[in-house]
Amino acid sequence: MSNLATLNTADSLSGISTRQIEESLERANDAYRNTDDSIISDSDYDALIDELARRDPGHALLTEVESEADFGAGKVRHQIPMLSTEKVKTDSELSAWVRRVESAAQNIGIRTPVLLSVTAKLDGMAGRLKDGVLASRGDGLTGNNITHILPKLVVHGVGDGELVMIQSYFDEHLSEEFKHPRNVVTGAVGADTPRPAAMKALNDHSIHFVSFTTLTRIDSRTDTIVAQLPEIREYLLGNTPYPTDGLVLAVESPELRKELGSTGHHHNWMVAAKTVGETATTAVVGVQWQIGKTGRLTPVIQLKKVTLSGAVIANVTGHNAGKVEEMGIDVGAMATITRSGEIIPFLVSATPAPNGASLPTHCPACTEHLKRRGDFLVCINNECEGRRHARLHHFFNIIGSIDLFGPVACDKLIAAGVRSIQEVFAITAAEFEAMGFGPGQSANLVAELEAAKTRPVDDFRVLAAMGISNLGRGDSKKLLRHTALKDIPF
C-alpha cells in the first residue's frame, strides 16, 4: 500500500482512559473549528478517533457532527443537513467500503462495477452558499451566517464547498505566524476581532469559497479504484492550488446514494481517503528541550537534514518526554517522518538509539530539578527565565493585536529583568534603548503599546493570554459565556 496511511498507534494509546480521549478530541475540535490555532496534528487526531471507535463505535463524537461556536450574523437552518465525511486510511478499509457500495447496488438491481467520482479533499472551513447566503456547516443542521465576508472572498460556484486559502499566499506571507492556512481562514471568518494578518489576507482576496462542483474530478469504478488511487492522487493534489487533506470518493448514482443513506455524522455513499504523504527516514543528531509557559518541556528532535515533499526538514516535535522515552529517541536513533497534510513535519516511528532515550534531569533554562508529571517533564520554578520568556511571548501571540513584540524582542525584555506584562507597558523609550533596542525601534515600541491600549480586544483572547494551564482560546470562550471577564480573579 503506497497512498493511504498505515500508522497504527493503538498500542501507544492503551494507557489513556476513554474520558481522556474524549476531552482531548473535544479540545482539538474546538481549536480546529473555532479558533485560529491548532493544538494537535491531523495524524494524532485521527489516531485518537480510531482508538475511540475501537472502544465505543457508537460514541457521539463518531456519530454526530462536531459543534461550532457562535459567530457571524445569526443562525441559518440547513434545509439539507451538512454532514462530515467518513475516513478510510488503508487499502483494506477502502476495499470494505467498496464492498458495501456494491452490495447495496445489487440490492436495488444496479449493475456492478459502480461509477465513482474522485476529487481533492480541500482542507479549510466547510460552508454552503445558497440564494446569496453563505453559512458555515455548524452542527450539520444549523450553521452561522457569514454572508458579511462574501465581498472579501473570491467565489467559485455555489452550493456546498470550502473556504480555503491559496497555499502559495500562506507560504509566502503567513507560514511563520500561523500553523496552517485553515487557521487563518477560521480566524478571519469566526473571530470577533481577527488578527491583522488574517484581515490582510481577506483584503488581498487570498481566501476563496470553492464549491465542490467546480473541482476537477476524475471518474473511476469500484473494481479499479484501489489500484488507480495513487495515480489519481498525484494528479489531483498536484493541480490544486489550495491546502488538501486527501481525496474524496463519491458514488455517482442518485438511486444508489439514496439506498446507502446517511448517519447523523456522514453520508455512507462518500468517503475521504486520507493520505499520510511521503515518508523519509533519517538520523537523529540531537534532542533540544524547549520550556513552555506552564513549565512543561517539549522535545524538539534535531535531524540530519532530509528533503521531504519538496521541503528540507531538520527538526520535528517529539511531543513530550513520555513519547521520546517510549520510542527510544536520542542521538543514534533513526526517525521516520512525514509531512501531515503535506505541510507539518510529523514523527511516524523510530528505531531506538543503542542506549535508549536519555531524559534531562534539570531545566535547560534555570537548572532547577525537573519533576515528572505523567508523560511530561516540568520545571516548577515560577521565576525560571525560560518560563517567563514563554509567558511573555504567549501573551503577545494570543492577544494578536500588538505588533513588534516577537521572540527576539521578548528575549531582550527577559534578559533585562522584565517579569510581567504590566512592566512592559510601563517601559519608556529610553529604557528600551538601554535594553539594546535602537532609538527608532524604541520609539516604535512605545507607540505600539500606547496604541494597543485603545484597540478593542476580545475578552476570550485576554483570558487565554494569561497563560493559565489548559485554558486556551476555545475553553476561554466557553467560560466567558457564563462568567464575565471582570468577575474572574487573577
Residue 3 has a pLDDT of 32
pLDDT tens column, 110-150: 999 999 999 999 989 999 999 999 998 887 888 889 998 89
Q: Do 110 and 217 share a domain, yes or no?
A: yes
What one-character-per-residue DSSP string does 198-223 give?
HHHHHHTT-EEEEEGGGS--EEEETT
Residue 328 has a pLDDT of 94
- Computed on alpha carbons and rounded to an integer, the radius of gyration of the chain in Å comes to 24
- Mean pLDDT over residues 43-54, rounded? 63
Residue 7 has a pLDDT of 31
Answer whether residue 194 is part of any domain: yes
Residue 69 has a pLDDT of 67
Answer whether residue 44 is part of any domain: no
Answer whether residue 368 is part of any domain: yes
Largest CA distance in the chain: 83
Answer whether residue 369 is part of any domain: yes
Answer whether residue 115 is part of any domain: yes
Looking at 216, 243, 273, the residue that finishes a domain is: 273
Confidence of residue 10 (pLDDT cuts 50, 70, 90): very low
Residue 332 has a pLDDT of 93
Identify which of 383, 391, 329 has the alpha carbon closest to the alpha carbon of residue 356: 329
The values of phi and psi at residue 417, to 5°, are 95, 10
What is the Cα–Cα distance from 309 to 171, expressed in whole angstroms? 14
The number of distinct structural domains making up the chain is 3
Residue 2 has a pLDDT of 29
Residue 193 has a pLDDT of 75
Q: Do 134 and 201 share a domain, yes or no?
A: yes
pLDDT tens column, 338-356: 765 445 677 878 899 999 9
What is the Cα–Cα distance from 137 to 228, expressed in whole angstroms? 31
Looking at 378, 412, 442, the residue that finishes a domain is: 378
Residue 27 pLDDT exceeds 90: no
Q: Do 228 and 167 share a domain, yes or no?
A: yes
| Angle between helical axes of 181-190 and 18-34 (0-180°, round to 10) | 70
Domain of residue 369, CATH code: 2.40.50.140
Residue 62 has a pLDDT of 53
Q: Do 390 and 468 share a domain, yes or no?
A: yes
Q: Which of 82-96, 213-227, 366-380, 465-479 is predicted least confidently?
A: 465-479
CA distances from 165 to 42, 106, 437, 469 (A): 18, 41, 36, 31
The values of phi and psi at residue 305, to 5°, are -55, 135
Average pLDDT value for the chain: 83
Q: Do 337 and 458 share a domain, yes or no?
A: no
Q: Where are the beta strands (DSSP E) in 137-203?
A: 142-144, 154-156, 159-165
Active site residue 121: yes
pLDDT tens column, 274-292: 765 567 889 999 999 999 8
What is the Cα–Cα distance from 104 to 83, expressed in whole angstroms? 21
Identify which of 368, 365, 371, 353 has the alpha carbon closest to the alpha carbon of residue 389: 365
Which listed residue (89, 121, 274, 477) is catalytic?
A: 121
Name beta bridge partners: 133.
Answer: 130
Identify which of 301, 262, 254 has the alpha carbon closest to the alpha carbon of residue 281: 301
Range of the domain at 357: 279-378
Answer whether residue 108 is part of any domain: yes
Looking at 355, 378, 401, the residue that finishes a domain is: 378
Q: Do 398 and 364 share a domain, yes or no?
A: no
Q: Which of 256-270, 365-379, 473-487 is predicted least confidently?
A: 473-487
Residue 1 has a pLDDT of 30
- Grid cell for residue 125: 472551513
Q: Return the SS3 of 396.
A: helix
Q: Return the SS3 of 139.
A: coil
Q: Do 425 and 478 share a domain, yes or no?
A: yes
CB atoms within 10 A of CB 289: 20
What is the Cα–Cα distance from 287 to 277, expressed in whole angstroms? 24
Q: Which of 10-14, 92-96, 241-245, 291-295 is predicted least confidently?
A: 10-14
Q: Do 134 and 250 share a domain, yes or no?
A: yes
Q: 99, 163 in Cβ contact below 8 A?
A: no
Residue 4 has a pLDDT of 33
- Mean pLDDT over residues 384-406, rounded? 86
Answer whether residue 5 is part of any domain: no
What is the Cα–Cα distance from 50 to 57, expressed in whole angstroms? 9
Residue 486 has a pLDDT of 83
Domain of residue 157, CATH code: 3.30.470.30
Answer whether residue 58 is part of any domain: no
Residue 51 pLDDT exceeds 80: no
Q: Do 359 and 321 share a domain, yes or no?
A: yes
Highest mean pLDDT among 24-33, 309-318, 420-429: 420-429
- Mean pLDDT over residues 228-248, rounded? 88
* Exposed e or buried b per residue across 6-17, where buried means at least 16 C-beta atoms within 10 angstroms of its C-beta: ebebeeebeeee
Q: Do 141 and 182 share a domain, yes or no?
A: yes
Identify which of 75, 199, 200, 211 has the alpha carbon closest to the alpha carbon of residue 154: 211
Q: Which residue has the higher pLDDT, 62 or 258?
A: 258
pTM flag (> 0.75) = no
- The residue behind cell 497563560 is 467
Q: Do 363 and 418 share a domain, yes or no?
A: no
Q: Do 309 and 429 share a domain, yes or no?
A: no
Q: Which of 26-30, 264-268, 439-443, 480-484 is predicted least confidently?
A: 26-30
